[in-house]
Amino acid sequence: MCGIAGFLGGFKPALLEDFCERLAHRGPDGYGVWKDAKAGVGLAHRRLSIIDLSNAASQPMQAVDGRYVVTFNGEIYNYQSLVPVLRAQGYAFNEHSDTAVLAPLYDLYGEGMMDKLEGMFAFAIWDREKGELFCARDHAGIKPFYYANSEKGLVFASELKALAGVEGLERGVDAHGLAEYLTFLWTPSERTMVRGVKKLRPGHWLRARAGKGGVKLEGGRWYAPPQAPLTSEGPAYDGSKTAEGLRDVFDAVVKEQCVSDVPVGAFLSGGVDSSAIVASMAASGVDVAGAYCISFAGAGMASEGFGEDIDYAREVAERYDIMLSEVRVDAAGVLGRLPGLAELLDEPTADPAPLFVEDIARAARSDGLKLLMSGTGGDDVMSGYRRHVTARLRQRLGALRHPAAAMLQGAAKMLPQGAKQRRAGRLARLLGVSEERFLREAFMTNSQPDAWELLHPDLRAQVAAGWHTDLDLAAEESAGQDLVNRLLYAELFGFLPDHNLNYGDKASMAAGVEVRVPFTDRRLLAWMADVDPAVKMRGFDAKAMFKESQKERLPERVLTRSKSGFGAPIRSWLVGDGRALVEDTLMGGQAEWFDAQAVQDFWRRTREGKVDGAYTVLALCMACWWQGKVK
């Protein structure tokens, strides 16, 4: 796990040192740069040593008789099985380093190498013979890759902030990116908030070559999530798959992902996903060096749908005789750290959860651990969110869906203000829309018109109606599938890579800690793809199949506990102790991207309880705090 950066074009070599300085937190164990002034190429690397701690694994790494130079971020879990294949083809390399297999694979297969890799990664390979730069990102977007192609050439980096020192980069705000951010509370698809910078999408590669008129890019998609085969009668499911079979695949993935030359720890919230990973590690004989759980001090958790995790985590830790560290967090401290979160994440995200990931990562690092296993992705792959239950309810209601939506909307208005009222209102809205709108709105916090009206009129005029995001692409590619599976397919596009995986990477790497996410493994995705959604969920029981696979390993109360978010009571905080912070930000001259009157009206209605606007208010504040940070 590391930080990477580089350029191709007319940039000063000193930019490489700047890259290394800006990415220092991602690789505290060392750094390196490589450049070829004649070719106009440079690569930079910050190292966090996890596999092969020796200097022989340092980067940028020259390989295949010096033809290729590699800078790599991530882990290739199956590198040991690739070694004999490459050795048989006559390649000689450091067989103890996962980085070292990349150049031989590229030399042998070209972009076809991607399908040989099991892991999480973002990398660049410079081919000195062809004068080409090949870049790629893993199938799920676990590792970030930002790039910009300007008149001077191509630059790329693991974090957006690393590109802040690049001359000639177009730095204005991307109006579409800002509008999408206010709609979803994160920025989906390839856009970022910076007009000149893009994200390489999950499962994609690009190749760059310098020439007359600048750097020319070509690219392609090497991975799309698997789906059930479609027949004339609909999706064809594999009825032979069982909960026991799922457990076996899951165990194999977890065991392989624990490959490391340093001790391995784990997040342990006491939820099904993180608990299952800890149990699987123990069953595979992996020494769990420590587990970490957030314990919250402060009011308002229950009213906003958050539970106390520590008691469940203790029960799992005791069962497997694992040392559990309680990371205590208080409301006052979180509020004071929110402005800094904007810079930490590169892209504003209206969610305090990254701060807790950072807290756990720093606690682990202080204990000498720099590798943790995480349950991120469990809900997205095993059908654990309320929106998946809503999809099942839509199907069950059939023609009664619209009357039920109207009745539920009326009932929501009669409920006291709180989590139940919010959920009833959202459920009513999602029951009432068409299937295609549901696939987008299930991920949205605000409708597009509501989001747009908060934009400054000059930016609002730049936003075209009906723009296309990866969520729309997911809907197109999953046509004909069951609605639950269509929703799960969409999770892998607009939510998981751009929200949970994005903040998980940035927040953990801020502390110099690698986080691995077994639920996103390609083999697990393939195994689950053709399982009948009725088996995955069994009525309205989210993650039923996965929970059944863990029933002999986890306490009953862990398997049956209600879904609890990983967050904080933002609604009560912002209108309470955080009110001055909000008003200083939004009414203090920082909100130049927004319509001042519209924002003031929205904040007033939020305080009065007329709209459930706290997370949108946080999104506005985050955008203000973020503005000017990436310079």
Q: Which letter does DSSP use for residue 348 in this model?
A: -
Task: Determine whether 106 is exposed, middle or buried from the number of CB atoms within 10 Å of its CB (0-12, 13-18, 19+).
Answer: buried
Instruction: Identify the pLDDT of residue 51.
Output: 87
User: Nearest-CA neighbor of 132 among 160, 100, 113, 110?
Assistant: 110
**169: phi then psi, degrees, rounded to nearest 5:** -80, 130
Question: pLDDT digits over 219-234, tens only?
Answer: 999 999 999 999 999 9
Instruction: Identify the pLDDT of residue 627.
Output: 86
Checking if the pLDDT of 477 tops 90, the result is yes
Question: pLDDT digits over 201-210, tens only?
Answer: 999 999 999 9
Instruction: Identify the pLDDT of residue 567.
Output: 65
Residue 165 contacts residue 526 (beta carbons within 8 Å)? no
H or E, element range at 209: strand 204-211
Checking if the pLDDT of 125 tops 70, the result is yes
Which of 150-154, 463-467, 485-489 has the lowest average pLDDT? Answer: 463-467
- Token reading at 320: 């497997």
Q: What is the DSSP string of 105-170?
A: HHHHHGGGGGGG--EEEEEEEEETTTTEEEEEE-TT--S--EEEE-SSEEEEESSGGGGGG-TT--
Amino acid at 282: A
Instruction: Identify the pLDDT of residue 307.
Output: 59
Amino acid at 28: P
**19: phi then psi, degrees, rounded to nearest 5:** -55, -50
Place of tokens 């693991």: 158
pTM given for the model: 0.95
- Chain-centroid distance of CA 34 in Å reads 30
Q: How far is residue 439 from each of residues 109, 203, 385, 389, measured CA to CA in Å?
A: 37, 21, 14, 13
Instruction: Identify the pLDDT of residue 570.
Output: 87
Instruction: Identify the pLDDT of residue 385.
Output: 95
Place of tokens 């030359």: 261
Q: What does the buried/exposed string (b/e) look like for 426-440 if buried means 16 or more CB atoms within 10 Å of the residue's CB?
A: bbbbbbbbeeeebbb
What's the pLDDT band for 97 if we cut at 50, 70, 90?
A: very high
Question: pLDDT digits over 39-71, tens only?
Answer: 999 999 999 999 888 988 899 999 999 999 999
More confidently predicted of 620 and 449 = 620
Helices and strands (H and E) in the chain: how many: 27, 19
- Domains of the chain in start order, with CATH, are 2-172+196-221 (3.60.20.10), 238-382+495-560 (3.40.50.620)
Question: pLDDT digits over 297-351, tens only?
Answer: 655 555 545 557 899 999 999 999 999 999 998 767 888 899 999 889 988 999 9
Residue 7 contacts residue 41 (beta carbons within 8 Å)? yes
Checking if the pLDDT of 396 tops 80, the result is yes
Q: Which letter does DSSP use for residue 520 in this model?
A: G
Which of 65-74, 333-342, 388-397, 470-479 has the lowest average pLDDT? Answer: 333-342
Among the ranges 335-339, 408-412, 435-439, which has the highest mean pLDDT value? 435-439
Q: Which residues contact 428 (CB under 8 A, 6 or more apart)?
A: 405, 406, 408, 409, 412
Q: How far is residue 75 from each of residues 138, 360, 589, measured CA to CA in Å?
A: 10, 21, 44
User: Nearest-CA neighbor of 142 among 76, 90, 86?
Assistant: 76
Checking if the pLDDT of 214 tops 70, the result is yes
More confidently predicted of 1 and 169 = 169
Length of the chain: 631
Q: Determine how many CB atoms are found less than 10 A away from the CB of residue 523.
A: 15
Helices (H), 305-445: 310-319, 331-344, 353-366, 378-382, 386-397, 401-414, 419-432, 435-441
For range 79-105, the mean pLDDT: 96
Question: pLDDT digits over 514-557, tens only?
Answer: 999 999 999 999 999 999 999 999 999 999 999 999 999 999 99
Residue 232 contacts residue 213 (beta carbons within 8 Å)? no
Task: Determine whether 232 is exposed, middle or buried from the number of CB atoms within 10 Å of its CB (0-12, 13-18, 19+).
Answer: exposed
Question: pLDDT digits over 105-115, tens only?
Answer: 999 999 999 99
Percent of the chain residues topping a pLDDT of 70: 96
Rounded CA separation 196/183 (Å): 21
Checking if the pLDDT of 631 tops 50, the result is no
Residue 605 contacts residue 613 (beta carbons within 8 Å)? yes
Average pLDDT, the chain: 92
Checking if the pLDDT of 628 tops 70, the result is no
Residue 18 contacts residue 165 (beta carbons within 8 Å)? yes
Q: Which letter does DSSP use for residue 497 in this model?
A: I
Q: What is the DSSP string of 33-95?
A: EEEETTTTEEEEEEE---S--SGGG-SSEEETTTTEEEEEEEEETTHHHHHHHHHHTT----T
- Token reading at 157: 């980096």
Question: pLDDT digits over 560-612, tens only?
Answer: 998 766 667 788 889 888 999 999 999 987 788 999 999 999 999 999 888 88
Pairing of strands 41-47, 68-76: unpaired
Rounded CA separation 72/70 (Å): 6
- Chain-centroid distance of CA 301 in Å reads 24
Report helix, strand or coil for 219: strand
Question: pLDDT digits over 348-361, tens only?
Answer: 999 999 999 999 99
H or E, element range at 308: none
Checking if the pLDDT of 156 tops 80, the result is yes
